[in-house]
Every structure is written in C-alpha cells, then in structure tokens.
Chains A and B, each alone.
Chain A
Amino acid sequence: MKIEVVRKVLEKNDQAAQQNRRRLDELGITCFNILGGAGSGKTSLLEALLPRLKNKYCVAVLEGDLATTRDAERIAALDVPVVQILTDGGCHLNATLVQQGLSRLELVGLNLLFVENVGNPICPANFDLGEHRRIVVLSVAEGDDKPSKYPLLFKDADLIVISKCDLLEHTRFNLSAALRDIRCVNSQARVIQTDTKTLRGIDELSQWVSAEPLLGKD
C-alpha cells in the first residue's frame, strides 16, 4: 500500500525546541542562538558583550562545541554561569542537547540565555533549539561571498553581525557586496558591524539585545 503523508523530517527536534521555548517563556528568559562559521568570532563577541549585560541582567551561556571546554572556560572567566555541551563529533547542536544543557543551569531568576552553536556555517542552521532570536556572525576574514554560499544560515537570522571589521583594510572583503547579498536572502535582519579590539559596535549590540520584548516585562 502507498501512504501519502507530509511529515517534517526534523519533527522530533522541532517538538523538543517548542518545549524548550515554552519553558523559557514561562521563566521569562530570552534565548539567543549564535551561529556562524568556525572562528567567526562568536565567543569573542560574548566576551565583549557580557560584561555590559551582566550589570543589568541575569545572564547565562550554553557553549556548544565538538570538543574541549575552552570556550566555556573563557566565559567562566567573566564570572558568568556557563555549561559546556559537547556534541561528541556532531556538527551542530540540537534541541535535545540544549534541553540537557538547560537542566544543568540554574534557570530561576535568569533573564538572558546565549547559546553558542558549534562553529559551522551549514548544519546548525537546520536545527531550531527553542531560541527566541537568531544571531549569525560573519567575519570579514571569511569573505563577502558567504551570504550567497550559505543562504539557509542567513535567511532566518534576526541579527547579522559582521565581525572583525578592523580587518577590512587588510582584506578584499567588499562590505557593500556583503550587505547587498545579505538583502537577497534576508530583507529584515538588523546588521551590526563589530570589532572586538576597539569594541566598535558592541554598544549597539548590547542595545539590540536589551530591546527584546521579554526583557523588562518581568
């Protein structure tokens, strides 16, 4: 017999993601999923951003990596609660791994949760983790062609950070071409240019995060 259906291949992940989101909603926590290629500067952005946010909000971080606890150690050095999720070879986080990570965090009283995904421009974009907002980091060092090469990564982003802008003068990264190509796949996302050496753009980033609707709602 032939069975006609339409079932999402990732339905199990999507259900777990919905559970995560509901749980976070109940607790009044706004969750950000940070995605980008390996070494695009995700942890560095958190290192620049968290000191500004932690005076105003209760913040925690979930660090997703294939191996090592190095990124978690960098966050812990800022005196911010952090849980390392090791994917054990998996190239992306999924909603179940995040669920497990959540169970290892003190969630009561928390306002903001940042989840740093595994550095990879392809796989993580497929998996809803239960976040409220997606932040995609594109570094100048990676090249301006990435929005066209990895449209799935950019198309659902709420914020696109162009990082390492101090390198603009040392590379052939064409900023206007990158911005134009971003608009081909995503007409809505806010774009912020940063540089964690001079802290350019970090205030803007902090304001964008603080403007999230759940915050201040108590």
Chain B
Amino acid sequence: MHEFSLAQSMLEVAVSEAQRVGAHHITRLKCRVGDLRQIDGQLLRDAFEVVREGTVCEGAELDVEKVRARAHCSRCERDFEVCDGDWVCAQCNGLAQLLEGGDELEIISLEAEVDS
C-alpha cells in the first residue's frame, strides 16, 4: 500500500511548485510511473483525491502515465517491452535482461492558476 505515501509525496512536490511560481491553485498534475514500481494507477488517483483536500491542489486531476520496463535479448540483439513480468523473448524464447528505465517516478507537468 505505498500508493498513499506516494500520493502524499506528489502533493508535497506540487505544493512546492505552486509556491515557486506563485500559483494559488493547481488544477492538474501529470506524473510518470514505471511499471517496475508496481503502482496501481487507480489507487494512486484515489489516494491523491484524499490528500489533496484543503490544499492548493484541491480538486486537481492526477494523470498517471505508465512506462513499461524494457529488456534486451542478447541472442537476437533485440530490445522489447516487458509485459506482466514476462522476460521471455517472443522471437527466440530466450531470456532477456532488464534495461535501464521502467522505474520512473516523477512529476512531469502541472497546470496552475496564477494571480495576474
């Protein structure tokens, strides 16, 4: 159940961005989450709905962009996306090796209302 503490951390990042740009309201934030983190996007949004109350993010939408892990098959020199923890190369049935990435966990954009 790490979704809740991650939603809390996302809120903290959003609040500090709001302060940085002088926004009084954040309406949307977008995060990128690698599959390896094994985070349930719906649970994350649900948790965010709870933690955003009474903050500058009140009512803000959370978009979750999932990123697949990638693996390399050394037998056919091919990179492919890993689905559901399946490390077998579809071309040669060989086992592949995890490549960098797939463990992203970051805020990549926010939509803010700023006093003019």
On A, residues with C-beta under 8 Å from B are 1-13, 90-92, 94, 122-123, 126, 148-152, 155, 180-181, 183-187
Contact = CB atoms under 8 A, between A and B. Distances in A.
Task: Sort chain B's interface into a size bin.
Answer: 20 to 34
B109 A4 contact: yes
Contacts of A184: 71, 87, 95-98
Which 5 pairs show the lowest CB-CB distances between chains A and B?
Answer: A123-B2, A184-B87, A3-B110, A152-B36, A185-B98
Residue of A12, A13, A185 most packed against chain B (CB within 10 A): A185
Given A5-B17, A91-B2, 19 more contacts: A1-B23, A3-B17, A3-B110, A3-B112, A4-B109, A6-B107, A7-B13, A7-B106, A9-B13, A10-B6, A12-B9, A12-B12, A13-B9, A126-B105, A148-B87, A151-B36, A184-B71, A184-B96, A184-B97
Contact of A6 (B5, B10, B23, B106): B106
B1 interface: yes
A94 B103 CA distance: 18
A1 B111 contact: yes
B2 A92 contact: yes
Contacts, number: 92
Nearest to B103: A152
B76 interface: no
Contacts of B6: 9-10, 126
Interface in B84-98: 85, 87, 95-98
A10 B87 CA distance: 28
A54 to B, nearest CB: 34
Contact of B105 (A10, A94, A181): A10
A149 B85 contact: yes
Contacts of A180: 95
Interface in B1-58: 1-2, 5-6, 9-10, 12-13, 17, 21, 23, 31, 36-38
